[in-house]
Structure formats: C-alpha cells, structure tokens
Structure 1
Amino acid sequence: MELNFKEIFTAFMILFAVIDIVGNIPIIIDLRKKVGHIQSEKASIIAGIILISFLFLGKSILNLIGIDVSSFAVAGAFILFFIALEMILGITLYKEDDSSPMTASVFPLAFPLIAGPGSLTTLLSLRAEFNIQNIIVAVILNVIVIYIVLKTSKRIERIIGPNGISIVRKVFGVILLAIAVKLFAHNIKVLFA
C-alpha cells in the first residue's frame, strides 16, 4: 500500500473545490445565526463517515442497479460542470431547502452541503482514476479543513470579506471546470473503447 502524494493532492484539491467549504461560509454563518451554535465536530465527522462509506459502498450500489463506474463518472463530470458554472457565474442552478434549525449540524450541513450529490459523485469518479488509499487520505484532509473552517467561519469572513470569498469561489470554479472536462474526456473514451 503505497501513498502517492500527487494523487492525494489532486484528489484533495478536487474534493476541496467540489465541497466549496470556503464558498459556503455565508451559508454557514446564516445557519449559525438561525441556530445559535453549530456542532463543528459532529458535522465534520458525519460528513467524513458519509464520504468514506460511499467511497466503499458506492460501486456496489451502482452494480446493484446495473451502472458501471465510467458511466457514473461521466454523469459526475456533468454535475461538476454545473457546480463549476454556479461558482464562476455566481448563479444558483439548484439549491436544497433549509430544514429545521434543530438538526443543522447534520442537515443541511453534513448532508447535503458537505457530503452532497457533487462530492459523492466526485468520489466515485476519483475511484475510477486513483488508488483508494490516496482518496481516503484526501477525504480525511478535507474533513480536517472543513472542521477548521466551521470552527473559524466568523473570523474567516471578517478577514477575507465578501469580495475575497467571491474571488476564491471563482478561482476554484475555473479549476473545477477544467477537472470536469478532463473527467468527461477520460471516461467517455473508456465507455466507447
């Protein structure tokens, strides 16, 4: 079992861009205002468990319904493409309804904000290209970053400001768009090979 730091870094950056925890700071702050307190540890751990579970069980679930990983990766590329467009253009194509503030740590924070359709699809897409241990390390690193951002969201918003958050979102949007195109190109070749 050999760790590949290039794969870990790439997987980390892809997941970081998809989860977009920095871009979600305004939503986190809004949730904190409604609830008064967000359980950062609980939200981070639950999101990590959902992500790692899906990494292992996602393929079996797909096999059960008769879909191969390459087809799922192509579908994932489309989702990433639209998430990237949202980030770059500052538009909202799809948004979950906010649920009751009582369960804010789990819903909508851990799921679907952190471990949402985009990040779950991305995990299976990554699995088609990278070694599983490298993806697990990338997930754990992202969970640590998520925890830090949740704990310090007020301070980050003060330091970066709304314009800074907007710039970060756009930069990661462009990176994500490039990743979506690469993912699509690679897996469409596999499907038609």
Structure 2
Amino acid sequence: MLDYVFSAAVTLLVVIDPIALAPIFVAVTSDLSTSERRLVALRSCAIALAILVLFGLAGAPLLAALGITLPAFRIAGGLLLFTISFEMVFARRTERKFDASEASLREQALRMLAVFPLAIPLMAGPGAITAMLLLAGEAKRDPARLAVLFVITLLVLASCLAVFLTAERVNRWLGVTGNAILSRLLGVVLAALAVQFVMDGIRAGFLS
C-alpha cells in the first residue's frame, strides 16, 4: 500500500505540476477581478477533480465503449491547447468584459474559462487522465486503494488551488506590461506543449 501511495502521489504531482500552472493561470485570467479569479480557480479545480475521479472509476470502459484510444485523446488535447496558445501569443483572446446588463453572459464566460483551458486540458489533460487510468488499473478494484488514489488526487488539486490563489500576488507584481510579456512567452511554451501532446499521441498510435 505504501508503495502504491508513493507512486500515485509522485505520478500525479509530476503530471499535473501545480507550480508550473501558476503563471499560466495568471496569463489566462489577467483581465478578471480578484473575486472572479478566485471563483474561476475554485471551479476549475472542482471540475478537474470530478473529471479525474470519473476516469479513475469508469474511464477505461467509457473510452472503450466510445471507441476512443488514449493516443487519440492525447492528440485532441494537444489540438485544443494549441488554439489557446495561438490566441495568447498573438493577443487575440476574447475580452471577457460586459456591462451590468450582461451579467449572465459574464457568468457564462467565467464558467467556460474554468472548464477550458484550466480544468481541461491543463489539469485534467491527457497526461493526468492517462495516469489516473493506469493508477486505477494498478488498484485492481480494491476499494481501499481507489479511495487512497482519490484522496491523493484531491490533495494535488488542492495544491493547484493554493497556487492559483497565490498567483494573484504575482499578477499585481508583474503589472500590465509584465502580464503582456508573460502571456506571450507562455503562449509559446503552451504551443510547444500542445505539439508534444500531438507527437506523443501519434507515436503511441503507431506503436499500439
């Protein structure tokens, strides 16, 4: 059990990498108020947790029933992430600014941001979902091990939330110019990560 706990904790921490998500969170939420940024952070972590738990419980049968392979899932995640990176590099992200009469539209925009790209594919992306599938398989339907896996997942995503909330200080420190520079630099990094997802998916598809 101890070996399983250590393996699950290290795997999920490395794959999700909460520290690396901090500057990305700052970049994609730079035009939000403090309260909105906190709300988006909470929602994105909760959504990512629900997705990872779902795949831990029924991911393999679900993908098999839909005829979706893990390589295809990786490629799809990479393509989705590339669209965000393109908008960040060329400053073409849609402004999420609405007047008071359009509060419902703003709320919808905040919900969408929490889902994509924060929850999917940055936290609950192809790598994290693949890790959950593998770790759930190692648990061999043992309720105790599955419970441990889900507790570890909760703790890792709680660390993501803590990092996101701390990122507000980074946002204030960078200022407008710093955020603009950071957004473009991270856009390039995200583009490379997206291409890597696609390459890994294609390689795994040919090897399978």
Kept in 2: contact 1:73–1:121 (CA 8 A): no
* Post-superposition CA distance 1:73-94 (Å, at most 9, x none): 10111111221121122223x7
Contact persistence 1:87–1:173 (CA under 8 A): yes
Q: Determine which structure has more spread, i.e. the larger CA radius of gyration.
A: 2
Question: Is 1:16 equivalent to 2:21 in the alignment?
Answer: yes
Cα deviation, residue 164, structure 1: 0.2
Q: 1:184 to 1:15 in 2, by over 3 A?
A: farther
Q: Answer yes or no: is the 8 Å Cα contact 2:43–2:114 preserved in 1.
A: no
2:75 corresponds to 1:74: yes
User: What residue ranges of structure 1 are gaps of 5+ in the alignment?
Assistant: none
* Worse overlay, 111-120 or 182-191: 111-120
- The alignment partner of 1:126 has SS state of helix
Which shifted more, 7-16 or 61-70?
Answer: 7-16
How much has 1:165 moved relative to structure 2?
Answer: 0.2
Please give the per-residue CA displacement for 1:117-162, whole angstroms capped at 9, x wherever unaligned.
Answer: 564234241135546668655533222122334xx4xx65543221
Q: Is the 8 A contact 1:80 1:118 kept in 2?
A: no
Give the aligned residue type for 1:181.
V
Residue aligning to 2:31: 27
Question: Is 1:88 aligned to residue 92 of structure 2?
Answer: no
Over the matched positions of the two proteins, sequence identity in percent amounts to 20
Distance 2:21 2:117 in 1: 14
The answer on whether the counterparts of 2:26 and 2:171 sit within 8 Å (CA) in structure 1 is no
Judged with a 3 Å threshold, the aligned counterparts in structure 2 of structure 1 residues 170 and 147 are, in CA distance, closer, same or farther, namely same
The secondary structure found in structure 1 opposite 2:67 is: coil
Q: Does 1:177 align with 2:191?
A: yes
Please state whether the residue corresponding to 2:180 is helix, strand or coil.
helix
SS in 2 for 1:27: coil
Q: Pick from 151, 165, 178: which aligns with 1:164?
A: 178
Change (3 A) 1:64 1:177: same
The match for 2:116 is 116
Residue of structure 2 equivalent to 1:52:
49
- Provide closer, same or farther for how the CA distance between residues 158 and 57 of structure 1 changes in structure 2, counting only shifts above 3 A: closer
**Partner residue in 1 for 2:161:** 143
Distance 1:192 1:97, change over 3 A: farther
| Aligned residues of 1:48 and 1:139 also touching (Cα < 8 A) | yes
TM-score, structure 1 normalization: 0.69
What is the alpha-carbon distance in structure 2 between the residues aligned to residue 61 and residue 15 of structure 1?
30
The separation in 1 between residues aligned to 2:83 and 2:105, in whole angstroms, is: 28
Question: In structure 2, do the counterparts of structure 1 residues 136 and 175 end up closer, same or farther at CA, with 3 Å as the change threshold?
Answer: farther
Change (3 A) 1:137 1:182: farther
Summarize deviations over 1:17-59 as a string: whole Å, max 9, x none: 7x93212344213xx7xxxx5483x543332221111123253
Query: What TM-score do the two structures reach when normalised by structure 2?
Result: 0.65
